[in-house]
Chains A and B, each alone.
Chain A
Amino acid sequence: MNYLEHIGKYFMMLGQVFKKPQKFRVFYESLFKEIEELGVKSLGIIMFISFFIGGVIALQTALNLESPFIPKSLIGFAAKRSIILEFAPTFCSIILAGKVGSYITSSIGTMRVTEQIDALEVMGINSLNHLVFPKILATVFFYPFLIALAMVLGIFGGWIAGVLSGLFSGVDYVVGLQTDFNPFLVTYAIIKTLVFAFLIATVPSYHGYYVKGGSIAVGKASTQSVVWTTILIVIANYFLTQMLLT
């Protein structure tokens, strides 16, 4: 199957996904379950990575700014910009593409190869709407909070790293954070997150839903879904940056 066929099939899948849920009682149950599976269970890894990567960004910036003519507050400024603009929305989304994407593909793919999706269809249930729509809503609504948390913890990690290493003072760092603060950059990061969240939910669902074969096929589909989601996040990141910041 060529790329155009995949793209066509992906959009046709979305056409089935965005339909009115057949029973809202069941839909809400699925939605809260997905928020827990795809969002709440990713909190730990995102908090851990954000804190340490924030620290590393601040340390690297400090170590590479040795000139006495450059104010130390620039470290906080650079760390803030790096974390808000790229690390939190893009880097964290790529991590989520790996963690959540493989989970989505393998769970839907397993349902496909064990005929659970056929069972839904035989009952008269729109399986794409039932399985994928709650995942999209869960990621699109929850990931902005997750990424906002990643921003806060990343910046906090930078402050802790500076204070503990003695490379810069906490005061300089905070002055840098407050310098030239542009709220639109946060909006930009959230817009990117929404697009990435949509890709993280839909691309792996596509790979899982249309898998053919057995457990090996599900494994291959999981790997492919992570690769493609990452590629699409990187491409979307480029175009969104060009559209929103230039």
Chain B
Amino acid sequence: MIEVKDLHKGFGDVQVLKGITTTFEPGKTSLIIGQSGSGKTVFLKSLIGLHTPEEGTIAFDGRVNTKFTNEEKRQWRQEIGMVFQGSALFDSQTVEENVMFPLKMFTDQSQSEMLDRVNFVLNRVNLENSNHKLPAELSGGMQKRVAIARAIVMNPKYLFCDEPNSGLDPQTATVIDNLIQEITDEYKITTVINTHDMNSVMEIGEKILFLKNGIKAWEGTNEEIFKTDNEAVVGFVYSSNLFKKVRVAYLNETN
């Protein structure tokens, strides 16, 4: 479980996060949504330790990350898997080398043991026979799958994804969503996804956190988001006619 209490973060005179408090449950997929500039990315980067909060705490299963010793921090880092918006694959390395990289850095496994693990996770993300390709030779969806494979190769307890569907066609985006959901369920990972994709909200949002101007404006499940009267959420999520119709259909069906 990740517990966030009163998180503040700013850059110079601009205060981006203004006191966010929330929890992310293990084995569940939590989504952070909000307009551009609402503080989603800063919030996610604060969770993974790329930004140091000015105030507030982030506790990972009771361990506050700002109080870690160097060794504890090193250990905690290995419990984290991260899928970046642009995949962030090392472009000079092949798919196999990319996925193997964390194992090389943090384990003493033999080459064959590492290769077995790499092949296992690549199979898990349905990416066989691409071991020796470079990231530039892969499609966007395949790159995302390699990034997911690299993120889970160390058996993380926490998985963070920054806009995993950006730049993907709807069909591939759904495949990536389902893959993340399956992996979360299978390994009981605490998964936090930063997204703009409303399909993801409807499909896999077991918990949704809506940020507006650096504060938590709404929190609930993907079922509750259909019923909410919160103007900010309704204005953001149901801004397109399609989703307005989906909401009306859902409410008619459930009433």
Seen from chain A, the residues whose Cβ lies within 8 Å of a Cβ on chain B are: 22-23, 25-26, 110-111, 114-116, 118-119, 121-125
Contacts and interface: CB of A to CB of B under 8 A. Distances in A.
Given A23-B104, A26-B105, A119 B78 contact: no
A25 B45 CA distance: 30
Contacts of A115: 84-86, 88
B236 interface: no
A121 to B, nearest CB: 6
Contact of B73 (A22, A111, A124): A124
Interface of B: 45, 48-50, 73-74, 76-78, 80, 82, 84-86, 88-91, 101-102, 104-106
Contact of A122 (B80, B101, B105): B80
Contacts of B85: 115
B104 A122 contact: no
Contacts of A118: 45, 50, 84, 88
B88 to A, nearest CB: 4
Contacts of A111: 90
Contact of A124 (B77, B89, B91): B77
A122 B86 contact: no
Of all A-B residue pairs in the complex, the 7 with the closest CB atoms, nearest first, are A124-B77, A115-B88, A119-B88, A122-B82, A115-B84, A124-B74, A116-B88
5 contacts: A23-B104, A118-B88, A123-B106, A124-B74, A124-B106
A116 B90 contact: yes
Contacts of B45: 118
Contacts of A25: 104
B12 to A, nearest CB: 13
A23 B91 contact: no
Contacts of B76: 124
A163 to B, nearest CB: 45
A124 B77 CA distance: 5
Contact of B50 (A22, A110, A122): A122
A122 B77 contact: yes
A26 B97 CA distance: 11
A51 B248 CA distance: 79
Given A124-B73, A124-B78, A114 B50 contact: no
Contacts of B73: 124
A134 to B, nearest CB: 13
A116 B87 CA distance: 8
Contact of A26 (B77, B84, B91, B104): B104
Contacts of B104: 23, 25-26
Contact of A121 (B50, B86, B101, B102): B50
A124 B73 CA distance: 8
Contacts of A110: 91
B48 A123 contact: no
A122 to B, nearest CB: 5
Nearest to A26: B104
Contacts of A119: 82, 84, 88, 90
Given A116-B91, A118-B50, A125 B105 contact: yes
A40 B106 CA distance: 30
- Which has the most chain A C-beta neighbours within 10 Å: B85, B88, B90? B88
Given A118-B45, A122-B50, A123-B102, 10 more contacts: A23-B106, A26-B104, A114-B86, A114-B88, A115-B84, A115-B88, A116-B88, A116-B89, A118-B84, A118-B88
A125 B150 CA distance: 15
